[in-house]
A and B are shown apart, each in its own frame.
Chain A
Amino acid sequence: MQENTQDGTPGSWFRVTITSRIKYDRIWLINSIQRHCSVPFTPVDFHFMHDGAQFFVQEASTASALMEVSNKICDEESRKVCIPVFVSPSAAPYSVRDKLKPEEMELLKLTLSKRFDVSQQALDLRRLCDDPDLLGHDIDIILNRRNCMAATLQIIKKNFPELLSLNLSSNKLYQLDGLSDILQVAPTVKILNLSKNKLTSVWELSKMQGLKLEELWLQGNPLCGTFPDQSTYVRAIRDRFPKLLRLDGQELPSPVTVDVDTPCVLKPCKGSYFGSDELKSLVLQFLQQFYLIHDYGDRRCLVAFYHEEACFSLTIPFHPEDPAPSSLCEYFKDNRNMKKLTDPHLRVQLLKHTNRVIVHTLCVLPKTQHDLSSFVVDTWFQTETMLCFSVSGVFKEVEGSSQGCVRAFTRTFIANPASYSRAHFSFNLCIMNDELFVRDASPSETQSVFSIPVPTPTSSSMHTLSQEQQDIMQASSTRPEVNL
């Protein structure tokens, strides 16, 4: 059975029924359903019933998407109670079927405008059904009826979207399902007058939960008589509107809330951490020596920095959506990221073992220029026999297909602080473990790289290095004796 949609084109309507003995928060319920539903939907004529809730949707595709949601939504608290969702074809909902004619809407809009106080953003709809303007034109605006309430809210949405105060006193309202749509239409409402209506249960107010009410009038409704005393009444209302300041014209004592103060502030970040000045100079000297050879010398000389049984591995990030970012292709071969690499045999193979194997790997990696001014170092563990530190910074590739590319890295070293010497030069750290993580530099990292200009020694201009630098290169090219 087909009914016309609001713009006149034919469309089918479906009724969606959620059965549950537990009363749910409308916003929570709709959001929960939407989360599991592949198609966005707009619930029309949402209303609660004694054993659940119901609303309408248009289009068969929306309906079938909603059918998939059944039993996927679980009770907020227990997570064990699954909520069934039933979808069935139906006639158009009341607000659509009995939609006001355009001329009726126009008249209603005029009437409402007369009752609107723009300075207070207040709409006084007291006894709307008895309004002389409406009666004179033979229009029945009974706000209990879904179509009338929907029409009123539509006008509010269009003409008074910043509404602060709404007076619905004396409109014979016995349920608030229709009014609860105001949460979508004018959530700004802070003052609500529902006095002298026919609301029989405080449960009706639950449908309005979500409105940040500061003032509420309920006197003259049957529900007021259902409470044993004033304080129980106030508590029940405040449960639903925690920010309420005035009820039935009376100032409420300020609420005592339990505020679980969840922290949102992070500790400020600091630069390099060394632990002591001695360690600082030790580590910085090491890094200077290491990268001097790594960038400007023969990487084979690095063999002197590593223990015979040292380990080295290299990783790049793994993004499942973009498994092979081509810019880091030079590093694919050696990438030991265990998030991607699951073969145990390969995991062993790609862990480079012994100083000779390590240096062989390093020699094959792209030629680089590290920006030592970008380095931040964390010296994070120290014993007599072990020093762990991590260095992060940026470097430029100076050769090959990625020439000019700026990379960022984090390299973790575990070194034995043994001093060993060759000729008049001594090494202070013997690398046992070396883990290198390389990623593309961010735009800000790329911009700031080499902000301090660095002269570029080329391999043919070794004579431009200082005597000390040449000594380091020479000393490291032969195997040292280790003194512990």
Chain B
Amino acid sequence: MAMPMDFKTYVDQACKAAEEFVNIYYETMDKRRRVLTRLYLDKATLIWNGNVVTGLEALANFFDTLPSSEFQVNMLDCQPVHEQATQAQTTVLVVTSGTVKFDGNRQRYFNQSFLLTAQSTPNNTVWKIASDCFRFQDWASS
């Protein structure tokens, strides 16, 4: 049975998860794109500038066709998600913003949100992306 945690502990846990995760995510996206899907749940969904990508296979194809990237994050925030919404599945909302330069394209500002959910294995607990929402700030102009 899980020990009841106080709010402060939830927040600390969320902050730790968010910081570690964001570093790994963008580093993987930039430098090890092939293994990026390992950070996602099997049934995870990505909404990328209004385009829906569902499931690991579709995600793998999508990231494969996405040009190589250089991300720079200048905003990070996170919140623990209330268990009433998550049905006791430990979840963290992570929100980021910054710039990205895709190969062959100009640098653009982006906003991104993630839902991270804790997946327990016998040895440890890992955070995985349940859902991901990405949008350029100037999505309407190309």
Query: Which interface residue of B12, B76, B79 has the most chain A CB atoms within 10 A?
Result: B79
Which A residues lie within 8 Å of B140 (CB)? 269
A175-195 vs B: 1/0 string, CB under 8 Å? 000000000000000000000
| A348/B79 contact (C-beta < 8 A), A315-B95, A378-B133, A388-B131 known | no
User: Distance (Å) between the CB of A114 and the closest chain B CB?
Assistant: 46
* A–B complex contacts, Cβ < 8 Å, 28 sampled: A263-B104, A264-B102, A264-B103, A264-B104, A265-B104, A267-B49, A269-B49, A269-B51, A269-B139, A270-B51, A313-B79, A315-B77, A315-B95, A317-B75, A338-B15, A338-B18, A339-B75, A339-B76, A348-B7, A348-B11, A351-B79, A378-B50, A380-B133, A381-B45, A385-B84, A412-B113, A412-B133, A442-B137
Which A residues lie within 8 Å of B141 (CB)? 444
Interface residues on B, range: 35 or more
For chain B residues 40-83, which have a beta carbon within 8 Å of chain A?
A: 45, 47-52, 62, 65-68, 73-82
Interface residues on A, range: 35 or more
Q: Is B111 an interface residue (CB 8 A)?
A: yes
Which A residues lie within 8 Å of B8 (CB)? 348
B126-142 vs A: 1/0 string, CB under 8 Å? 00001111011111111
B45/A380 in contact, CB under 8 A: yes
Which B residues lie within 8 Å of A433 (CB)? 79, 81-82, 85, 93
> Of all chain A residues, which has the CB nearest B65?
A263
Interface residues of A (CB under 8 A from B): 262-273, 307, 309-311, 313, 315-319, 336-339, 344, 347-348, 351, 353, 376, 378-381, 383, 385-386, 388, 390, 392, 408, 410, 412, 414-416, 432-433, 435, 437, 439, 442, 444
A337/B77 in contact, CB under 8 A: yes
In the A-B complex, the 7 residue pairs with the closest CB atoms: A264-B104, A270-B50, A269-B49, A380-B133, A381-B131, A386-B85, A269-B139
Instruction: Give Cα A316 to B97, complex, Å.
Output: 9
A378/B135 in contact, CB under 8 A: yes
User: Distance (Å) between the CB of B67 and the closest chain A CB?
Assistant: 5
User: Distance (Å) between the CB of B87 and the closest chain A CB?
Assistant: 6
Instruction: Give Cα A353 to B50, complex, Å.
Output: 31
Which B residues lie within 8 Å of A442 (CB)? 137-138
Instruction: Supply 5 further A-B pairs (C-beta < 8 A) apart from A381-B115, A437-B77.
Output: A270-B50, A273-B47, A386-B86, A432-B81, A435-B113
B1-22 vs A: 1/0 string, CB under 8 Å? 0000001100110010011000
User: Distance (Å) between the CB of A377 and the closest chain B CB?
Assistant: 10
User: Distance (Å) between the CB of B112 and the closest chain A CB?
Assistant: 9
Which A residues lie within 8 Å of B115 (CB)? 381, 388
